Structure 1
């Protein structure tokens, strides 16, 4: 017998799948690569498989000069975004890269795209950006690319709330604070004015979480641990802004301001890294596919798997698919292969039992690094090494 709760869960899953399959969801990566690179220990022999997201972290990992990075995503829009970034490197004009992805806007973006970028894109990416390059054309209501896509729409709502409350200058003071003590002062001055009944309601909606790329099963994990999504988000934000140095936290800066700063941006946008990355971007290969299908069609021995928080998506709802995925990962690994993922759960107890028979989890290292995560929206980080 199908229960009401199961019907609701199925509807939530359908909404989530509709959002993440047909739209650009992530316009920037939401995992901290500074910690990743300490755990992954990439080198010139590394053969990496990772989930694409917005492609920022693939470019960051490229600084360690791995041999190949295979970026896999079922959502083609995420791969097209990475291909656009690769094309801007191939074009060779750092200023254009900074305009598009540092400032998040470019006056005359359509003309620049047609002349300088489009010829460098694969056909499918051309077709996508032919109708979406206006994302980079600023307007009074949507001044930045980082307010486009489904996650960007939520960020824009928060930014508009801040501006309507007259808090934007306070936010800039917070972002430019010179100490955690100063950060905490500005944060606690802002926080009581930021939240109201509407925003508490908005954050608690399934549609909002779907737009942010958070599936129902992951919401359930968070709600069980924190007695509601709102409490989790509020505590996460408070910790990030009062306990961790904010000066290089480009994750939150870009959503609060719509742009990065030269001294607060992802590594791929740093001018000093441009010439190093430019000749290496062809080591990044995009694949529009599930991870399982990718491994079926591209069997190999891979040195690294970066799974983001994708394990959560299958934890309760699709245990058979979760187990199948791990069988394929292990079949394409060798002793020493490193596997990294994050979770909304405080532990990785949801993994199939056979996984821990083949993988040693380095909880001491990951637990040491996890509190330094500048994003702050995951409950745990896990690094496993195949035995």
Structure 2
């Protein structure tokens, strides 16, 4: 909205031209989302407490988590609101990639909201039935995947960018739909699995979103895309606004979610953030980069898969508890130690991922 307003004001005063700059708008989007999160955070926490929307804690989990019972959850509504408002204010709303990202963010947020609502309000410990949860995630992901395939068939939109090999950019054809589907759904659930300790999921999300902000800026710039030997994608630059809004909203939420947490994001936040990171990677044609930069999410997901598979096949568990962050808790690591060490690993993985763009 403000982008449109400033574009009109430039005709009367050239000073306003600074606010049409992508970099300036991205920074302002970060600060806008941050300020909204900080300003509304305590109000949202008080509102959730008033409604008695408290965290449900697993009885078979670490004993230290029992004290978390009743902590306000569904704080992801604050994150989603901050991101959405910031993007609507600072993004070029004629850009279809912006609306695609918002569609997944809000769509997955609604699925997560229903799941949380059934758990904490209706006291249904199972939440949304798993098959319906995955069904609606799949519907949203397939709408996006088929839409992108129809729009960009046999162009850079449906090509696969392979790390380290600048001349390997194969056209995926219909396989693009399958890849996009699994990336969006997989990312949504991976972040959801990671969200088990105070601040554990939100900081890696911030790191990955910040990394993708740089990639979006480069991908949407003809010169830099050519220098890095990555496809130039027409609408991708504006995704920098979305990424920076995620960073701002995430930092604002972390203010209240850091150990010991005053609020949890719930599925409404984790599913939405994972889904939007997934779709951003698809839009930028950097699915492999998400695999690297989001390595913490991958490790958490693999730990669950290995744990379940091992128990079903051999009757034995590999880890003391899955996801893997609980394994280290049960080994005696204090929760803050697990969190910060996972943050450090996540930051290193994001830097390694960005490095692969140059090593081509």
Give the TM-score of the pair, scaled to structure 2. Answer: 0.31
Higher strand share: 1
* Higher helix residue share: 2
TM-score, normalised relative to structure 1: 0.29
